[in-house]
Amino acid sequence: MRTVLAAALLLSGGAVPGATFGGAGVQGDAVNYVAIPSWGGSTIQVVDDGRVDRWRTFHRRYGVPVAAYDGSSTTGLSADEQTLVLSEVSNDYPPKRSRMVVLNPFDLRPRSRLNLPGAYTVHALSPDGRFIYLIRYPEPIRDIDRHELTIYDVENPGPPEPIERAVGTPLSRATDGRRVYTLYGPNEPFIRVLDTEKRTVRRVPLPGLRPADVTSMRLALDGEILRVVPVLNIDTRTLAPVQLEPPAWTAFRATVIA
């Protein structure tokens, strides 16, 4: 299903990942935060062991941010679980303005709001929730793959500051709460490694892969190993490949760009 979704989006020209209602939402250590539409607005629910523990309703249609097309890559909760960010689910595409709300996860009360011109999506949060990493799409209709990684300081609001410009569609991602690994493709594929605490970015290019191969790949963390299933394993300490599979792909090589 994940592969079919990614392939369909790529073939149709797709849209920015945006935000979603329902499903598992974004998961904390003990609870899930799930957004649902309600009365022209939205309700954010805190789900504990399958039961709704508490909720809050908003006049705007806020959903849980989606960071990749693999169907499970939601984001918006900081690693310390002290900050939750939701994105508006817009009826317009591309959106003329991108709105987000920063919440206290315990009482779901807003701490601050973002109202940015153009198309932005939430990519990640720093572990303490101070910095929100946003993806800006300068031309979401003409060139959906061209994007810019930016950073927004919640404590010192202002225009998001650019970090990196790139080309690619986010297909899958994995995170340990601090480092975020995102697979981009299908052409000239690479993995972006974002250290949300140090605010640094590195790339692991993945040359020699066909677009059809890339859309079927997924990322998963296993201790200090990033598994690029089914292609190779990467040591997260060095970003060097430690295993190639299957044997038919032994000519594949990965390089690292700091």
Categorize the per-residue pLDDT at 146 as very low, low, confident or very high, splitting at 50, 70 and 90: very high
Q: What is the pLDDT of residue 258?
A: 54
Q: How confident is the model at residue 13 (pLDDT cuts 50, 70, 90)?
A: very low
The pLDDT assigned to 231 comes to 87
Top pLDDT among 15 and 14 is at 15
At residue 71, the pLDDT reads 72
Three-state DSSP class for residue 71: coil
At 37-52, the pLDDT tens digits run 998 899 999 999 999 9
Q: Residue ranges of the domains in the chain?
A: 2-249
Tens-place pLDDT, residues 160-180: 999 999 999 999 999 999 999
Q: Quote the pLDDT of residue 256.
A: 59
> In degrees to the nearest 10, what's the CA dihedral of 53, 220, 239, 176?
10
pLDDT in tens, 57-99: 999 999 999 999 987 789 999 999 999 999 999 888 889 999 9
Which residues have a Cβ under 8 Å from the Cβ of 53 and sit 6 or more positions away?
A: 31, 46, 47
> One-letter amino acid identity for 51?
R
Q: Are 221 and 243 in contact (CB under 8 A)?
A: no
Q: 30 to each of 1, 33, 136, 223, 238, how far by Cα in Å?
A: 27, 10, 32, 21, 32
State whether residue 210 is helix, strand or coil. coil
Mean pLDDT of 213-220: 93
CATH number of 2-249: 2.130.10
- Examine the pLDDT at 2 and tell me if it is beyond 90: no
The pLDDT of 185-206, averaged and rounded, is 96
- pLDDT value at residue 93: 87
pLDDT at site 7: 36
* CA separation for the pair 102, 112 (Å, rounded): 5
- Confidence (pLDDT) at 4: 36
Q: Which residue has the tokens 């999506």?
A: 121
